[in-house]
Amino acid sequence: MSSRTSIIVVTNRKGGSGKTTTAVNLAAEFAATGQRTLLLDLDTQSHCALGLGVNISASQLTAHHLFTAAGATLPLNAAIVRTNWKNLDLVPANTEFHHDNALNDDHILARALTDSTITSSYAHIVIDSPPSLDRLLRNALTAAHWALIPFVPHPLSGEGVRQLARLFFRIAMTTNAELRLLGLLPVMVDSRIIQHRQVQEQMSGQFGQERLLGGIRADIKLAESFAAGRPIRYYAPRSRGNQDYQATFANVFTRLSSAALKTSLTSINSSG
């Protein structure tokens, strides 16, 4: 994969964890900075299209075509849909896809993303993964450089993060040595709830305080923005949901920039 393109998978094995909301709004933030961004939806709920106000026709090729015998040879760019938002494109999901039918290959997506028409066109690729520990999630982790894990600060969510972390480290040790943990993002946070504080403290203790990316407070505007088909920065720019995602994006962008600089310096030193 091209070093010019950062590939981020937004993942949590539990549904309702703010995964798709985070993927859509993170992609929108990258695009708003003038960097061409591709949002790739592997979740068969197909909510990325909903969050961007994109109508998907029955004949539209999707990300899930890659994982079928009939679609395995199709180039990924054949499934790209333009959105109403400048610099932001989408590869939608197929709501009819059955995960059990996926080809037995963890590298399908990684190969698709090596296509020069993809790597030369996009500065960032954001993957919304399915909320399950299956072949498609393994493909997403195998293809990505970074994993971002949103979670609701609830005991069940905490256990889901730990289960996902085990798969993450297994992939990083076997099929994708480039995979790094970008961070854990608490969502739907209410600091007045003792349990929310306790779970965040547990995550901090297990993964390190530096891995926690602030937090996204509970805000009905985030749900409303999805219903309106508009990223939160355009739907409600003064909302606390947008303020929190802006702060999260700034943190993410800093981490990516720092990592890119470190890689560049390592390359220069090794070549010298």
pLDDT tens digits, 204-247: 777 878 888 888 999 999 999 999 999 999 999 999 999 999 99
Distance CA(272)–CA(255), nearest Å, equals 26
Q: Is pLDDT larger for residue 168 or for residue 116? A: 168
pLDDT tens for residues 183-199? 999 999 888 887 888 88
**Mean pLDDT within 136-162:** 89
Please report, for residues 189, 197, 207, 242, 267, the alpha-carbon distance to residue 193 in angstroms, rounded to integers and kept in the order given.
8, 7, 22, 22, 47
**What pLDDT is recorded for position 263?**
52
**What pLDDT is recorded for position 154?**
82
Q: Is the pLDDT of residue 268 over 70?
A: no
Cβ contacts of residue 246 below 8 Å, gap of 6+? Answer: 29, 233
**What pLDDT is recorded for position 2?**
42
Beta strands in 97-217 (DSSP E): 124-128, 146-151, 180-189, 216-217
Q: Please report which confidence band the pLDDT of residue 109 belongs to, taking 50, 70 and 90 as the band edges.
A: very high
In percent, how much of the chain has pLDDT > 70? 94
CATH T-level topology, domain 6-263: Rossmann fold (3.40.50)
**Mean pLDDT within 67-93:** 92
**What pLDDT is recorded for position 269?**
47
**Mean pLDDT within 52-76:** 90
In percent, how much of the chain has pLDDT > 90? 65
**Mean pLDDT within 130-134:** 85
**What pLDDT is recorded for position 3?**
53
Strands 81-82 and 88-91, by their bridges, are antiparallel
Residue 93: alpha-carbon gap to chain centroid? 14
pTM for this model (two decimals): 0.91
Q: Please report which confidence band the pLDDT of residue 260 belongs to, taking 50, 70 and 90 as the band edges.
A: low
pLDDT tens for residues 113-127? 988 889 899 999 999
Q: Please report which confidence band the pLDDT of residue 261 belongs to, taking 50, 70 and 90 as the band edges.
A: low
**What pLDDT is recorded for position 265?**
41
Tokens of 244: 């929190």
DSSP 70: T
- Considering only 63-72, 81-90, 188-197, 226-235, which range has the smallest mean pLDDT? 188-197
Contact between 53 and 84 (Cβ < 8 Å): yes
Distance CA(187)–CA(199), nearest Å, equals 12
Please report, for residues 5, 33, 46, the alpha-carbon distance to residue 142 in angstroms, rounded to integers and kept in the order given.
15, 27, 21
DSSP 24-63: HHHHHHHHHTT--EEEEE--TT-HHHHHTT----TT---G
Q: Please report which confidence band the pLDDT of residue 69 belongs to, taking 50, 70 and 90 as the band edges.
A: confident
